Amino acid sequence: MASFSSLMITSLAASALRYSAAFSPAPSTIARRAASSSLRMASDNDFDDFSSKVSFMFPGQGAQFVGMCAETCKDIPKAKALFDEASEILGYDLLEICTEGPKEKLDSTVVSQPAIFVASMAAVEKLREEQGQDAVDAATCAMGLSLGEYSALCFAGAISFADGVKVTKARGEAMQAASDAVDTGMVSVIGLDKEKVTALCEAASEKAGEKIQIANLLCNGNYAVSGHMKACDVVAEIAKPDFGARMTVKLAVAGAFHTDFMAPAVESLKKVLADIEIKKPRIPVISNVDAKPHSDPDTIKELLAKQVTSPVLWENSMESMLEHGFEEALELGPGKVTAGVLKRINKSAKCTNVEV
């Protein structure tokens, strides 16, 4: 099996006050609920006319690798401090797993999700250290691939760093539990357009007697499908001979992410989200669910819960970004997945990686 990050590499071979909100301690539960109640009538269209002039992108699960953040945390104390805080919340040494492994533990859903979130926030500190606060404040919008949406929301001041660690930990645990309940998986299909991949899924579902569907719409010619393992096997069997796919690769993930197979994870995630404060982002953050930015905290919470069972509309998000005055993008975090997708969609798009 290939990791989501390695597959993508192969196949595609934000003022201290504003930002400190992302790393401020969470308020009491009572204060959180009061704040949430006061925001229920908040507008959700404040970012309809957003600018993507400088877009910050954050990677998702699969971008992790053993050794990540070792040099960054050695050279940048604020990055190391993030890992120290996260480890206190998680109850284990997250940096040690990121830098030393073992790979199997880092790759597990319950560890990789908080690991990538913290690593992405460490990349923000690296950017601040190397290029100054102005480089951080230059961002006009943010987005993240699946899990990366939490990194984008933290960067935009919508959630605190501590709450980001808590919710990504809970999200990983809930998705792992849902995956353990049924034998499911994901397959990347390379070389087919969306219509053909949809037809492929329909044929595989019929032949296997089990459901499979498009889960990650990355870009034309690169879509990931999720479903029952029997249907995954059929996709791998018939994609090339019957539909003309260039290749298929089973992904090393716990289960059928972004499908109804993850429905058992939704209620657990909702409970965690209900206990954290989400503020209006200081810059637009594009949702994976509908490829639009939202300003109402309650709507953002609802979409985050919905995200685990909804297809990731990354292709649509990229298209929206490119249509709103885009000039350049920065990918912050491990790997170069989102940068690779952007280049696949628009070869001339300017993109810089802040790697850890």
List, for the chain, all residue ranges whose pLDDT scores fall below the cut of 50. Answer: 1, 3-39
The two structure tokens encoding residue 325: 């005055």
Query: CATH 3.40.366.10 region(s) of the chain?
Result: 14-179+261-354
- Alpha-carbon distance of 66 to 24, in angstroms, equals 29
Fold exhibited by the domain 183-255: Alpha-Beta Plaits (3.30.70)
Handedness of CA 55, 56, 60, 62 (dihedral sign): positive
The superfamily in CATH containing domain 14-179+261-354 is: Malonyl-Coenzyme A Acyl Carrier Protein, domain 2 (3.40.366.10)
Which ranges in the chain belong to alpha helices (H)?
4-11, 16-20, 29-38, 70-75, 77-90, 94-100, 103-107, 109-131, 133-137, 148-155, 161-181, 194-208, 229-243, 263-274, 297-307, 314-322, 337-345
Site of tokens 């006009």: 140
Q: What is the arrangement of strands in the sheet containing 212-219, beginning at the earlier edge strand? A: 212-219, 222-228, 184-190, 247-250
At residue 14, the pLDDT reads 35
Contact (CB, 8 A) for 305 and 273:
yes
For 124, which DSSP code?
H
Tokens of 127: 């950017």
* Dihedral sign, Cα of residue 18, residue 22, residue 27, residue 30: positive
CATH code 3.30.70.250 region(s) in the chain: 183-255
**pLDDT of amino acid 322:** 97
The pLDDT value recorded for residue 5 is 42
Q: Is the pTM of this model over 0.75?
A: yes
Cβ proximity of 107 and 3 under 8 Å: yes
- Kindly report, residue by residue over 215-274, the tens digit of the pLDDT: 999 999 999 999 999 999 999 999 999 999 999 999 878 899 999 999 999 999 999 999
The catalytic site residues sit at: 146, 258
205 vs 263: CA distance, rounded Å: 19
Q: What is the pLDDT of residue 257?
A: 96
* Rounded Cα gap, residues 268 and 260, in angstroms: 15
